[in-house]
Amino acid sequence: MNVAAKRLIELAEAPVTIPDCYENDVRELAANGIDRIRIAHQLMPTMKERICLVQRMGTKGDIYYDAYEGGAAEASNSIDEKLFSEALKGETEAAKLMEERRVAREQRDLRKELFGI
């Protein structure tokens, strides 16, 4: 095996670490409704880094998990506020959507609590 091939194997087997400097970017992208995989593709140049970032965004206690969940919550709150203001104006469709979102949120929270998904 030549030197270049050995070096490629070493690089492929090396552990990947991502600095914590992307926290604000993750929060902002999540607040705009972008999912974990798309965020990783936008921020990370290599597949290994993308995988690492997706894993960190899914690991409770990690700063990227907190950033993603916080951004996603901001997006959800923004939608809820808009629906609420429309419902106050008499928009019955907005009121229906608010109720559907509330039920879906309760079900999602229960699944997360019971099964971790």
Q: For 84-92, what is the mean pLDDT?
A: 93
Q: Is the dihedral of CA 109, 113, 115, 117 positive or negative?
A: positive
Question: What pLDDT sits at residue 8?
Answer: 61
Over its C-alpha atoms, the chain yields an Rg (Å, rounded) of 20
Q: Provide the 3-class DSSP secondary structure of residue 32.
A: coil
Q: Which domain holds residue 92?
A: 15-115
**Is there a domain that residue 4 lies in?**
no
**Is there a domain that residue 81 lies in?**
yes
Question: What pLDDT sits at residue 16?
Answer: 77
Give the contacts of 79 (CB within 8 A, at least 6 positions apart).
101
- Reading the block at residue 36, the tokens are 């974990």
pLDDT tens-digit series, residues 3-37: 776 766 665 566 778 888 999 999 999 999 999 99
**Is there a domain that residue 10 lies in?**
no
CB environment 52-84: b (16+ within 10 A), e (fewer): bbbbbbeeeeeebbebbbebbeeeeeeeeeebe
Taking the C-alpha atoms of residue 109 and residue 105, their distance in angstroms, rounded to an integer, is: 6
**Is there a domain that residue 55 lies in?**
yes
Beta-strand runs (E) in 70-111: none
**Is there a domain that residue 1 lies in?**
no
More confident residue, 57 or 1: 57
**Is there a domain that residue 90 lies in?**
yes
- Domain tally, the chain: 1
The one-letter amino acid code at 47 reads M
